[in-house]
Each structure stands twice: as structure tokens, then as C-alpha cells.
Amino acid sequence: MSWSLPIGILRSYACGLCTLSSPLAGPLSWRDTYQTEATKRSLLRTSAMHIAVFGASGFVGRNLLDELGGTDHHVLACDIEPIDHDADNVEYRDVNITDEEAVEDAVSDVDAVAHLAAHPLPASTDDPKLNAEINVVGTLNILDAAREHDIEKVFFSSASSLVGEVETVPVPEDHPASPQSPYGVAKHAVEEYLDVYNQLYDLDYLVFRFFNVYGPYQYPDSGALVPVVLSRLARDEGVFVTGDGQQTRDFIYVRDITAFIVDGLEGDVTNEVVNMGRGTDTAILDAIHEMAEVVGVEPEIDRKPERPDEIDDFYADTSKCERLFGHAPETEFRNGLERTFEWLQEDADL
């Protein structure tokens, strides 16, 4: 499988991400591209909102703040980890979502909520109870505050891992759920809670099920494939694949997701669960070779036995996303990798 980098003298678009280039100035950096997109979105917007972002210091949260920074929205960035964002419209607040009073105070003066806070999947198997306290009870704190204060819409970041054993590919939103981790169980439970809160309390919601997300602010110590492989290749270290490496995944660039989140908060799509992947299957081995080309090295790949629980093929059916939003995420894998590697070199001390 191969990918091509969109090239344009004047302008190219990738899921709403506008990249300007010229023969004199060259292409914009990953950071300048986002600022250009924020300006474009601000010009198209008709009204400003107050938005509370829970999990604002996390991987997707930081990217969402960059997406919203410089727009006419006021953003309350809520997290237990301090964040110093230079946009004038972003205000940080120390909020633990398990603290009911702190959550209600944060939600009391906003129009919409973006809920990205979560106890991660790997840690969920070590402490399922803590995972439930954060991912389920913490979320219920947000939902109760939202219905109490007549919030217009709650966005929730769900995960494709709730699918569990794959029966059909590409994977549609109505695929049977059989989660195989406490994390997946919690994500599935929250999706059900959102539906119930809508029926009982008329609380509108929007759920995106993230597939294999990568991009800036995802550090190598996260254990995610893309930053781990890019960082090891940059240090001239070997990488490994299990089995023959032909297992496929759906890699989606994080800024595609954050653009859709803002569209979802601003738009009329409500009470839907939507896959957030590119709908493209990429073999793990092909992904490693593509990353090696971006770094400019020949990869040293070790092969290990295939894991018994390994999923062979897993990628999103994006037809619902296309129907509701008019298009699916579009950033090509190669393009997203180049932006991610540029960020790793600048901000992750590669």
C-alpha cells in the first residue's frame, strides 16, 4: 500500500485542514496550518459559544484547544494537569471529573461540553474499579450537571475498542459490542447512558468512536504505535511486528477529529454515534515502512509470534459520517505522519 502527499501551489484541503503554500514561502508548518484553519472557521461562524473541555490537557484535548484557540468561542479548559495555552480565549481550570461540585461549577456557565477525560485502556485492566469511577461515575457527574444547567449539547469521545470481537469489516456503528477490557465496558456504558439521558431529560449528545488516532501531543511514552515507531526510527533503534505484520488498522490524524468535534458542537447533528476513522485499512508492516520513509531511514524490523488475541482486520465504515457531515476524515496517512514527525522533532526532543 502506498500514500501520496497532496501538493498544490495555492491550496489543498484535508478534512477541512487548509494548507497554504507558495513557491516563495513553502508549505506551512503543522502549527501554522492549525492557526490558518482557526481563522477560516472564525470567519464562517455566526455566533460564539462558551465551551467546557474536560480532559483538555490530554492528547486529543490539547489539539482541540489549538483548534478552538483564536476563535470567537470562549473555552474553559478543565483538567487535573495544568495547561498553559497562549490563546486569549482559553481559560484553564483545575477540575477532577470525580468531584461533583467542581464539575457543576465548571458547567454552570457554558453552552456546550466536550468530554475527552478518561482513565486509559492499559491502566483499566490493573484497576477496573478506578476506571469505572473516572470513566463512568465521572461522566455521570458531567451529564447531571449538563441537564441541570440546560446545556445545548454534550460531545463524548468513545472508542472503537468497545466493539471487541470483529464480525464485519469495515466496522459499522451498529456492529455488536462485546468489549474485552474495563475501558471498553465503560465506553459502552456511557453510550447507553447518553441515550437514556436523552430519553429522560432531553439532553442532546454526540458521540465519536475513535479508531487509531495519532498526531501532535501524543508522546512516545503513551505506547501508541505511531509515536513509538517514529521515535525509535529517529534514534536508529529497531522495531518489531507480531506475526506477518499484515494486520490492518484505521489510522486517523487527530486534527481531522478535532475539526469534526467543533463542527459537531456548532452544528445540528445530535443524538448520534459516529465512527471517527478514515475508512482505510493500513497493514502494520506498511505503516512502519511509511514511517521509515518519513524519518529517512531503513527500518530494522524484528518479527515476534502472533498474539492469540490479535485482530486481523479493523477499520471503520465511514458512510454515516459522510451522510451526516458531508465528508469523512481525509488527511492522508503520509501527510499526517510528516506533520506528526515535525512536531516530535520540535516538541518531544527527538
- Residue of 180 and 46 predicted with greater confidence: 180
**Region of 16 on the Ramachandran plot (φ > 0 left; ψ -120 to 50 alpha; else beta):** left
Q: Between 214 and 44, whose confidence is greater?
A: 214
The mean predicted confidence, pLDDT, of the chain is: 89
- d(Cα 251, Cα 2) in Å, to the nearest integer? 14
Q: Work out the pLDDT band at 34, boundaries 50, 70, 90.
A: low
d(CA 88, CA 73): 10
Taking the domain 12-217+253-280+327-333, which CATH number applies? 3.40.50.720
pLDDT at 313: 93
Q: What is the pLDDT of residues 248-260, one digit of tens each?
A: 999 999 999 999 9
Taking the C-alpha atoms of residue 343 and residue 195, their distance in angstroms, rounded to an integer, is: 38
**Pure H helices in 96-224:** 100-107, 121-124, 128-132, 138-148, 182-201
Its pTM stands at: 0.87
What digits encode the pLDDT tens for the residues 279-289? 999 999 999 99
Residue scoring higher pLDDT (311 or 190):
190
Give backbone dihedrals phi and psi of 155, rounded to 5 degrees, phi first.
Answer: -95, 135
